[in-house]
Amino acid sequence: MKKLVLFLFISFTILLGKVEFSGDYHFKKVASNVYTLFGPIDEPNQHNKAFSNNPTIVIDKLGVILIDPSGSQVAGEYVLKEMKKITKLPVIAVFNTHIHGDHWLGNQAVIKHYPKVKIYAHPTMISRMPVDGPFWVEMMLKMTNGEVKGLKAVGPNNEVVNEQIIQVGSQSFKIHNPIIKSHTNTDIMIEHINSKTLIAADNLFVNRFGMFGEDASILGNIEAIKYAKNLNLENYIPGHGEPKNIHAGYQEYFTYLTLLYTKVKENYDEGVASYEIKNKILDSFTPYHKWIGFDIYFGKHIDKMYREIEENDI
Ligand SMILES: [Zn+2]
């Protein structure tokens, strides 16, 4: 009988096309009225259904401000389900930190439940949406092996500028994009002024690597972290991974990127070719060997760093 019930349940679920993400990930309090859902550390795949980032909520009396509702409609539904365990209030504003789909494709679920919500983002992100939107939908379908079928690109609808203050209820947010090219050329870091918390998005990673595309600059990322650190805030939330110490959440990635710069520069100055550098410097990066994506990204980061040093001839 139990088997029959299970069979009927599975068949019914397939017929409805309903796919859910289930995992042991819950919002965690990081500051007064601020909670982060430190998500799965792997890249988007069929198991995590494109949930692989750190969505953050700020709770006001009027409702919830949601930052980066994750990477698919399925993942977005999970974020909302977990949010409801913390508060029954509606989502009243959303921020998208940058153009990479693992952060904003969950907008689809938010808009489904809260159609009038304002979604704030960098103007370059909004202007890139007609091309990058469909690209990321395709990419997520591929990475999840079709698990997020029905995914649509629902982009941001409100532009923000550097140092803009956005007031939502009694919560104040300050936008920071001090560098044109950092993780991408569409990044915003969001300061929640009330709790002195910086949602630094993919300018910070912990326990995982990410890509630096053509719209990125490693040197710019280093500068962005220095800037963030100089804000002297209480909490720093990375885009992926949970830092050991949230008060110094910038430290691990800053150390990695500056070490990368130092080692590549040394070798560049000695006339070592880019492709020869990896094996020579591998041992200096032992703490990072266990970070997710090391094998894929470390060589790419060296190449990118090398090109930036060459271009700037610094
Ligand atoms: Zn990301």
Of 76, 22, 90, 83, the residue nearest 57 (C-alpha)? 83
Percent of the chain with pLDDT over 90: 91
List beta partners, residue 67.
56, 95
Report the percent of the chain where pLDDT is more than 70.
94
Please choose, from the candidates 95, 159, 154, the residue with its C-alpha nearest in 3D space to the C-alpha of residue 124: 159
Report how far ligand 1's centroid is from the alpha carbon of 118 (Å): 21
Distance 11 CA to ligand 1 centre (A): 34
Which residues, including other chains, have CB under 8 Å from residue 271's CB and lie 6 or more apart?
Answer: none
User: What is the CA(74)–ligand 1 centre distance, in A?
Assistant: 17
Q: Measured in angstroms, how far is the CA atom of residue 62 from the centroid of ligand 1?
A: 29
137 Cα: distance to centroid of ligand 1 (angstroms): 15
Q: What is the mean pLDDT of residues 105-121?
A: 98
Q: Measured in angstroms, how far is the CA atom of residue 139 from the centroid of ligand 1?
A: 13
6 or 235, which is more confident? Answer: 235
* Ligand 1 center–CA 102 separation, angstroms: 5
Gap from CA of 261 to ligand 1 centroid (Å): 22
Averaged over 288-300, what is the pLDDT?
Answer: 96
Question: What is the C-alpha R_g of the chain?
Answer: 20
**pLDDT band, residue 23 (cuts 50/70/90):** confident
What pLDDT score was predicted for residue 15? 44
Provide the mean pLDDT of the chain. Answer: 94
- pLDDT single digits (tens) 205-247: 999 998 899 999 999 999 999 999 999 999 999 999 999 999 9
Tell how far the Cα of 240 is from the centroid of ligand 1, in angstroms.
6
Name which of 174, 171, 208, 205 is nearest 191 in CA terms.
Answer: 174
- Per residue in 149-189, pLDDT (tens digit) is 999 999 999 999 999 999 999 999 999 999 999 999 999 99
What are the structural domains, with CATH classification, of the chain? Answer: 19-265 (3.60.15.30)
Gap from CA of 4 to ligand 1 centroid (Å): 41
**pLDDT value of position 3:** 56
- Residues in the chain, total: 314
Eight-class DSSP state of 283: G
Measured in Å, residue 238 CA sits from the centre of ligand 1 at 9
Gap from CA of 313 to ligand 1 centroid (Å): 30
Each residue's pLDDT tens digit, 31-51: 999 999 999 999 999 999 999
Mean pLDDT within 282-294: 96
Strands 34-36, 56-59: parallel, antiparallel or unpaired by DSSP? Answer: antiparallel
Using the mean position of ligand 1's atoms as its centre, give its distance from the Cα of residue 93 in Å. Answer: 20
Residues with CB under 5 A from ligand 1 (ion): 100, 102, 202, 239
Report CA(280)–ligand 1 centroid distance (Å). 29
What pLDDT sits at residue 10? Answer: 47
Q: Is the pLDDT of residue 254 over 70?
A: yes
- Cα(61) to ligand 1 centroid in Å equals 30
The pLDDT tens digits of the residues spanning 127-145 come to 999 999 999 999 999 999 9
Which residue type is seen at 186?
T
pLDDT for the residue numbered 236: 98
pLDDT given at position 13:
45
pLDDT category at 5 given cuts 50, 70, 90 is low
Looking at residues 115-134, what average pLDDT do you find?
98
Confidence class of residue 18 from pLDDT cuts 50, 70 and 90?
Answer: low
Determine the Cα angle at 73 with ends 72 and 76, to 5°: 85
How far away, in angstroms, is 201 Cα from ligand 1 center? 7
> Which tokens is 72 given?
């698919």
pLDDT at 77: 97
**Could you say which DSSP state residue 32 is in?**
T
pLDDT at residue 6 greater than cutoff 80:
no
Please report which confidence band the pLDDT of residue 12 belongs to, taking 50, 70 and 90 as the band edges.
Answer: very low
